[in-house]
C-alpha cells in the first residue's frame, strides 16, 4: 500500500531473487476500496505451475463471470478481476494432470468470454503474454530495453541489460532506459520470452464493431510524452486547443493555462487565436495533484494552497483560461476567484474537452453521475456558478477530429508488419461524453 518508493524500500527489492521475467502493477483503485487484498499481480498455483495476472481495465461482464466461476465451486477471495481471470484460465477447460495445458488457447478462450476492457500481462514460469482486449480500450505498448550508456563522472558499475518491457504508457520507458517499440494491437496476444517478442494471434471484434480506445486517455490521464496510436499525447492536446480556438473564439487580451496539464491546449489556443500566451499561476511544489485528494472540502482548501497568482502578468487584463476538463467544477471556481482578486478584469474559461456526463464501466474512476457538474442544474448557468465571464467546451466532434486526424497521418509509420495498414479502422470510446458504450453492458 502507498507510493511505489515507500511500498518497496531498497532492502525489500534486494531480497528479490535473481530472475529474468517479472510483472508488476500499480493500482489506482477504481472501486473506491483501496485494499491490500486487491493488490496485483494476483498469483495462483495450479496443477501446472503458477499463473500471475496484472490487469488494467474493468471486465464489463465481471458479475456474470464471477457467478460462473463460483458455480464451478471456486470461492473467490478478492473482488478483483485479476483473481477472476486467473481462475478462468485454470478452469476452462479442466486441467489434466498429465498434459501440459495450452495456455494461449485458454487466453483466447477467455477473450471470447469477455469483450472488454482489459490490457493484461499473464506470466507463467518462462513466458509472459501481453494481451489487449479486441476493442483496445486500455493502452498497452512494448519497449526495448537497451544498455544504459556509461555515466561519466562516477565509478559506478552497471550491467548492460537488454530485453523487452511492456507498459500501459510509453512514457515509463525512458526512465528505465528503454525505447518505444510498438503498441500491442486491439485483440492481440504477444508472447515475451527469452526468444524475444512474438505476435501470436489477433482475436477479432464482432463484425462491424470499431476499436474503442479510451479517448479520455488523450484528454486527461496519460502523460503528455506518451504515444498512443502513433501520435504523442501532447500533440493531440495542442490540436484540441487549436480546435477549441476555432469553435470558441474569445475577445480577450491573453491566453493562459491551469498548470500543468492544460498547457499544451493553451499553447494551441494561443497559436490559433493569435493572442499572447502568458502564465497566470505558479504551482506550489509541496502540494499534490488535485485529482488524488480524497474529499470535496480538502480539494477546495487545496486549491488555495496549490497556486500562486502571478499578478503582474495579468492585472488589468482579460484572460482566457484553458483547462483540460471540468469534472466536478470545484477546482476552477477558486482559481477564477484568485485571478479576479489579483486583478484580472475578465476570466473566460475554455475547456479543451466536452463535458463529462456518463459513468465509465471500463476502468476509469469518474465520479458518480450526480457529482458531475454537467449533470447538475447549475450547469445551465455554469459561467455564473463558477464566476467566469464565459465558459465554452470543445464539442465531441471537435475532440474526435483532433484525436483522429493524427492517426491517419501516422499510420504509415507503425511497425506492425502483419496488419494491413490501408484498411485499419479508427474508432474511440467516448462513452463518458456520449453515453455510447462500445459493447452492451451486462449486469
Binding residues for [4Fe-4S] cluster: 214, 360, 429, 432
Smallest gap from Cβ 94 to a copy of itself, in A, equals: 5
Q: Which pairing describes strands 163-167 and 227-228: parallel, antiparallel, or unpaired?
A: unpaired
* Residues 71-90, mask of contacts with a copy of itself (x by CB under 8 A): xxxxxxx-x---x--xx-xx
List, in sequence order, every residue forming a beta bridge with 143; answer none if it has no partner.
165, 180
What's the closest the beta carbon of residue 73 comes to a copy of itself, in angstroms? 4
When asked if residue 34 is in the footprint of a copy of itself (CB under 8 A), the reply is no
The only residue of 305, 369, 421, 436 in contact with a copy of itself, by rule CB under 8 A: 305
CB of 330 to a copy of itself, least distance (A): 7
Q: Is 29 in the site for a copy of itself (CB under 8 A)?
A: no
Q: Tell me how far, at minimum, the Cβ of 76 lies from a copy of itself, in Å.
A: 5
Cis amide linkage into residue 55, ω under 30° from 0: no
Nearer to a copy of itself, 405 or 434 (CB): 405
DSSP letters for 168-201: S-THHHHTTTEEEEEEPPTTEEEEEETTEEEEEE
| 364: phi then psi, degrees, rounded to nearest 5 | -105, 135
User: Shortest distance, CB of residue 111 to a copy of itself, whole angstroms?
Assistant: 19
Using CA atoms, how far apart are residues 335 and 340, in angstroms rounded to an integer? 9
Please name the helix (run of DSSP H) or strand (run of DSSP E) that holds residue 64, with its range, or none: helix 62-71
Residue 373 touching a copy of itself (CB under 8 A): no
Applying CB under 8 A, what is the total number of residues that bind a copy of itself? 75
Q: In this complex, which beta carbon is closest to a copy of itself, that of residue 233 or of residue 433?
A: 233
Does 380 sit near a copy of itself (CB under 8 A)? no
Minimum CB separation of residue 64 from a copy of itself in Å reads 13
CA–CA gap between residue 384 and residue 407 (Å, rounded): 38
124 touches a copy of itself by CB under 8 A: no
| Contact with a copy of itself (CB under 8 A) among 36, 157, 207, 380 | 36
Site for a copy of itself in 166-195 (CB under 8 A): 171, 174-175, 177
Backbone angles phi, psi at 4, to 5 degrees: -55, -45
Closest-CA residue to 173 (of 226, 221, 131, 134) = 226
Q: Tell me the CB-side half-sphere exposure of residue 123, using CA atoms within 13 A.
A: 18
**Shortest CA distance to 133 belongs to which of 116, 109, 121?**
116
User: Strands (DSSP E) along 213-278, which ranges?
Assistant: 213-214, 227-228, 231-232, 254-257
Binding residues: 214, 261, 323-324, 360, 429, 432
Site string for a copy of itself, 90-119 (x = CB under 8 A): xxx-xx-x----------------------
CA distance 164 to 329: 42
Considering only 135-143, 217-225, 244-252, 411-419, which stretch makes contact with a copy of itself by CB under 8 A?
217-225
Binding segment for a copy of itself (CB under 8 A), chosen from 110-118, 202-210, 311-319, 428-436, is 311-319
Minimum CB distance to a copy of itself smaller for 127 or for 396: 127
353, 210 Cβ separation under 8 angstroms: no
Annotated binding-site residues for Mg(2+) read 261, 323-324
DSSP 247: H
- What is the smallest separation between the CB atom of 420 and a copy of itself, expressed in angstroms? 26
Q: How far apart are CA 175 and CA 195, in angstroms?
A: 25
Is 159 a binder of a copy of itself (CB under 8 A)?
no
Least distance between a copy of itself and beta carbon 169 (Å): 10
330 belongs to the binding site for a copy of itself (CB under 8 A): yes
**Between the CA atoms of 152, 157, 163 and 164, what dihedral angle is there, to the nearest 10 degrees?**
-70
Amino acid at each position: 500500500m502507498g507510493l511505489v518508493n515507500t511500498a518497496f524500500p531498497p532492502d525489500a527489492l534486494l531480497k528479490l531473487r535473481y530472475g529474468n521475467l517479472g510483472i508488476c502493477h500499480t493500482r489506482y483503485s477504481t472501486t473506491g476500496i483501496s485494499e491490500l487484498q486487491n493488490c496485483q499481480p494476483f498469483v495462483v498455483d495450479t496443477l501446472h505451475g503458477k499463473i500471475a495476472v496484472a490487469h488494467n481495465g474493468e471486465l464489463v461482464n465481471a458479475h456474470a463471470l464471477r457467478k460462473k466461476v463460483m458455480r464451478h465451486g471456486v470461492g473467490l477471495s478478492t473482488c478483483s478481476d485479476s483473481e477472476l481471470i486467473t481462475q478462468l484460465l485454470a478452469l476452462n477447460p479442466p486441467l489434466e494432470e498429465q498434459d501440459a495445458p495450452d495456455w494461449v488457447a485458454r487466453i483466447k478462450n477467455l477473450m471470447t468470454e469477455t469483450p472488454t476492457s482489459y490490457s493484461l500481462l499473464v506470466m507463467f514460469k518462462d513466458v509472459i503474454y501481453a494481451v489487449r482486449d479486441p476493442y483496445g480500450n486500455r493502452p498497452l505498448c512494448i519497449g526495448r530495453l537497451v544498455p544504459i550508456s556509461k555515466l561519466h563522472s562516477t565509478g559506478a558499475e552497471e550491467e548492460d541489460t537488454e530485453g523487452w518491457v511492456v507498459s500501459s504508457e510509453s512514457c515509463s520507458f525512458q526512465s528505465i532506459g528503454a525505447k518505444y517499440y510498438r503498441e500491442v494491437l486491439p485483440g492481440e496476444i504477444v508472447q515475451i520470452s527469452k526468444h524475444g517478442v512474438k505476435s501470436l494471434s489477433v482475436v477479432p471484434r464482432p463484425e462491424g464493431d470499431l476499436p474503442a480506445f479510451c479517448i479520455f486517455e488523450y484528454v486527461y490521464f496519460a502523460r503528455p510524452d506518451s504515444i498512443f496510436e502513433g501520435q504523442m499525447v501532447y500533440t493531440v492536446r495542442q490540436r484540441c486547443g487549436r480546435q477549441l480556438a476555432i469553435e470558441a473564439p474569445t475577445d480577450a487580451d491573453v491566453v493562459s493555462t491551469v498548470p500543468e496539464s492544460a498547457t499544451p491546449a493553451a499553447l494551441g489556443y494561443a497559436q490559433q487565436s493569435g493572442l499572447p500566451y502568458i502564465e497566470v499561476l505558479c504551482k506550489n511544489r509541496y502540494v499534490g495533484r488535485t485529482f488524488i485528494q480524497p474529499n470535496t472540502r480538502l480539494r477546495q482548501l487545496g486549491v488555495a494552497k496549490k497556486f500562486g497568482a502571478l499578478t503582474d502578468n495579468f492585472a488589468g487584463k482579460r484572460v482566457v483560461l484553458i483547462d483540460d476538463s471540468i469534472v466536478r467544477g470545484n477546482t476552477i471556481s477558486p482559481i477564477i476567484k484568485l485571478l479576479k482578486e489579483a486583478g484580472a478584469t475578465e476570466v473566460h474559461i475554455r475547456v479543451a474537452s466536452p463535458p463529462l456526463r456518463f459513468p465509465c464501466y471500463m476502468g476509469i474512476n469518474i465520479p458518480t453521475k450526480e457529482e458531475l457538474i454537467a449533470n447538475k442544474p447549475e450547469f445551465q448557468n455554469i459561467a455564473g456558478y463558477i464566476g467566469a465571464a464565459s465558459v465554452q467546451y470543445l464539442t465531441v466532434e471537435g475532440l474526435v477530429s483532433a484525436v483522429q486526424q493524427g492517426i491517419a497521418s501516422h499510420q504509415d509509420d507503425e511497425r506492425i508488419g502483419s496488419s494491413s495498414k490501408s484498411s485499419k479502422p479508427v474508432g474511440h470510446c467516448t462513452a463518458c461524453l456520449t453515453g455510447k458504450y462500445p459493447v452492451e453492458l451486462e449486469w
